[in-house]
Amino acid sequence: MSGAPRGLTVPALRTRKGAGPPIVAVTAYDAFHGQLLAEAGVDIALVGDSLGMVVQGQETTLPVTLDEMVYHTRMVGRGAAGRTFLLADLPFGSYQISPEEAVRSALRLVKEGGAQAVKLEGGEDYLRHVEALVSSMVPVVGHLGLLPQRVHAMGGYRVAGRTPQEGDRILREAQSLVAAGIFALVLEGVPRELAARITREIPVPVVGIGAGPDTDGQVLVIHDLLGWTPEERRPRFARGFADGRGEALRALGAYSRAVKDRQFPSEEESFHRHAP
């Protein structure tokens, strides 16, 4: 991305709290996705570390490296060309050790990847990290609820905040993150009632995923929403808005048959020694 963004900015996103249409966010991993999202008028392209699972075929997001995040962020930014807000995840292992490490990693995502903001998972343990990032002029989005980078500590991917104590803790963490300087919060895999309460109680936009309909916006993984994820592997909360996988399989089948039947390429699709 070069030059000033033509799409949404941090101040513009802030004003969407409780006003205007809900924020529309979708994950993106390459220039093609960036282009699609920009053309569709999506507000935020999230270069999520979910790319470890949906692009790289890994079991978790943990192996994704900062270099890979920088590479994918740059590609998405090239496709979106400033027309969609570009948000990038700080991957596991790129910020946990210290606030300084978080700043160093985030600066790479901004300088080399073109990210307009970064997202990190966690609450109380990362308040100093968020403060350091904000002081370094890197806008930050928080991420609470189900935290995929904590898959081992959690013993799997489970809905978070089901008990009143857990719910209160997540709300307190959201408030602390706001005090530390986040300008938006992603809330993943929490009961609808808790998401609604947190959305009411904090002054920054809450973007939900598996958090019910009452947040200030929604985010989905592009493979889920376009129907590329096999249905049996798509989470219950992730509606497929197209049958991308079915369409792709039909097209690949048709191409294979045409090649085998020598129906492709046709005369019109062939070159000749002398142009007509």
222 binds ligand KIV (CB under 6 A): no
Cα(211)–Cα(21) distance, integer angstroms: 18
User: Taking contact as CB under 6 A, which single stretch among the options 33-41, 42-50, 67-75, 230-238 is the one that binds ligand KIV?
Assistant: 42-50
Which of 49/173 has CB closer to ligand KIV? 49
Q: Which of 70, 170, 186, 196 binds ligand KIV (CB under 6 A)?
A: 186
Catalytic residue, candidates 39, 124, 188, 247: 188
188 is catalytic: yes
Shortest CA distance to 10 belongs to which of 60, 51, 44, 52? 44
User: Taking contact as CB under 6 A, which single stretch among the options 34-42, 46-54, 126-134, 192-200 is the one that binds ligand KIV?
Assistant: 46-54
CB of 229 to ligand KIV, least distance (A): 12
The shares of helix, strand and coil residues in the chain, as percent rounded to the nearest 5, are 40, 15, 45
Burial class (CB in 10 A: 0-12, 13-18, 19+), 97: exposed
161: number of CA atoms within 13 Å, CB side? Answer: 26
Cα(120)–Cα(222) distance, integer angstroms: 20
Which of 4/90 has CB closer to ligand KIV? 90
**Number of other CB atoms surrounding residue 73 within 10 Å:** 28
Site for ligand KIV in 191-220 (CB under 6 A): 209, 219
CB of 20 to ligand KIV, least distance (A): 21
**Number of other CB atoms surrounding residue 4 within 10 Å:** 7
Task: Give the residues across from 27 on adjacent strands.
Answer: 46
Q: Which of 43, 188, 216, 224 binds ligand KIV (CB under 6 A)?
A: 188
Q: How many residues bind ligand KIV (CB under 6 A)?
A: 11
> Which residues belong to the active site?
188
Residues that bind ligand KIV (CB under 6 A): 27, 46, 48-50, 89, 186, 188, 209, 219, 221
